[in-house]
Amino acid sequence: MISFSDVRKSFGGRPVLNSVSFNVRQGEMLGIIGPNGGGKSTLLRIMSGVDAPTAGEAYLEGKPVERYSRKELARFLAVLQQDALPPVGFTVREVIEMGRYPFQNWLGDDERDAADSIDRIIEQLGLNALSDRTLEHLSGGERQRVALGKAMAQEPKLLLLDEPTTYLDIGYQVQMMDYIRGWQKETELTVIAVLHDLNVAAQYCDRLLVLHDGGVAALGAPGDVLDAPLITRVYGTEPLIVPHPVSGVPQILLQSRLMA
């Protein structure tokens, strides 16, 4: 479904991505991990058509990203970021309805009546009691749920996540990732997620792509990728890695050098 072929990206002569190649299958959840400044967000910006690669090519369903119009891309993919919605004076329902923009004509009429779909999304995300409340009266976790609802209303084939749980407490992190994983499995949605928390990435992603110094340091299932030598090489710290007692996926425990 998605293919990067020898993609390179530089800003002001400074290389950020260097010969990045990989494929993503339909219905897969791919996690992109790596240290700050490694090119993770740049990769998503190329995939979403915001930036063009300096060299190489990014493809969506066999077609170069830059050949899609903005409206075609909006019908194909949705993006959910760290703090996706500013606290402005729109209600929860109004914001979720904004996800239907790619399917509206120049008069603002939807190509189909989406009211039932909007109702179902609000119900599914537990937002019924908040549907008439404006965003400035919501918590960060509630606003992020609304942002997810807006993306769901967009009915994308591809969902791009740029560290969507960074500012959430652990309860909201699990809730958000459960909603996304459930949506993905129900609709065969393809998800590509830049994630900061390696344990969350291992728990929810089918495969992990590790970016380091602008290149692909590893690509594979969490159990094949997350080992102590790689974490030490990429992040510069020596972890303890144990299997999750339920799922069996690797979980990283940090240890202070002062305790060694």
Q: Which domains does the chain have, with CATH numbers?
A: 2-259 (3.40.50.300)
* pLDDT tens by residue, 9-44: 999 889 999 999 999 999 999 999 999 888 999 999
CB 42 within 8 A of CB 232: no
> Strand, helix or coil at 65?
helix
Q: Which residues pair with 60 in a beta bridge?
A: 2, 63
Instruction: Give the pLDDT of residue 108.
Output: 61
Instruction: Give the pLDDT of residue 78.
Output: 93
For residue 62, the one-letter residue type is G
Q: How far is the C-alpha of 232 from the C-alpha of 16, rounded, in Å?
A: 21
* pLDDT tens by residue, 199-256: 999 999 999 999 999 999 999 999 999 999 999 999 998 899 999 999 999 999 988 7
Residue 53 tokens, joined: 């690669």
Q: pTM for the whole thing?
A: 0.91
